[in-house]
Amino acid sequence: MTNLSSADLRSQLQGLWLPLVTPFRDGDLDETSLRRLVRHYARGPVDGLVLAATSGEGMALGIAELEQVVTLTRAEMADIRHYMPICLGLSGASTLKMLDQLDETAAWPIDGYLISSPYYVRPSQRGLLQHFSVLADHASWPIVLYNIPYRSAVNLSNETLLRLAEHPNIVGLKDCGADRAQSIDLLRRRPSGFRILTGEDTQYYDAISDGADGAILLSAHIDTEGFASVRTLFREGNRDAAQARWESISDLTRLLFAEPSPAPAKYWLSRTGLIDSAEVRLPMVEVSAELAARLDLEIEQRCRGVDRLPRRAQS
């Protein structure tokens, strides 16, 4: 299958993207559950997948496992004859090591990268500009920047982002800056074709109303159609319906982040049969008994009127 050019990824970097969780079982990658997830979300209103990023526990995966996740996902899409663009999540605190990762993944069947700011070292804005510019010059696939200062301990300023947006191989931003004023300013000043998707689940409606092109949302694992409909209704001019739909699902975004993500989402997906185990890798741990009870109650309420929880999809 032919991969996307930078121009193609720009055009498809909108709507609802899913940062797919990585299923494990007994310490290993659960290939059966991964294929089941891809089949399930291919049937819904998902515009693209991000693999092995924060929600996919990418930092807990070895390079062979990363390739396995990508290969299995693309193979399942081919089997069901349904195409979605794929961005691979990469992160690191060393520019040289990131260049090595770009080389190792250059021939993989992906369409782009989602690359977060370097964590822990807290570079200056000049350092961030040079870091991402070097990566973009080197990368075989277009790059989506990932600004998430509460994890990386450094914020990409709008001046830096606007300069990076001029690079032909940098096509967009996953915005987890958690600063609505900064986001609005960037949306107003960004160059044509530079895509901005929110990654803040609880701020999804605000971001769409402010002009974001879409979202990359962990919560959309659970009510995919509901999250997609918020943007669809808003774009159709039906703001009241969009807000009402958002209000009906906004509590879900808080519940799924009540403990470190993606453990709550994995628990939900395992209880409803999409994955075989809620297993996460240390230092992540599975949800507490208290949160499990809250999630069970929410699942039961959503399944009310059904004799039992949904059957596991056919493997």
Contact (CB, 8 A) for 69 and 61 = yes
Annotated catalytic residue: which of 41, 174, 266, 267? 174
Determine if residue 55 is labeled as part of a ligand binding site. yes
**Catalytic residue check, 97:** no
Residue listed under structure tokens 């693999």: 51
Task: Give the chain's radius of gyration (CA, Å).
Answer: 19
One-letter identity of residue 111: D
**Catalytic residue check, 174:** yes
Annotated catalytic residue: which of 41, 119, 120, 146? 146
Gap between the Cα atoms of 214 and 207, Å rounded: 8
Determine if residue 216 is labeled as part of a ligand binding site. yes
Binding-site residue set for pyruvate: 55, 216
Q: Give the residue numbers marked as catalytic.
A: 146, 174
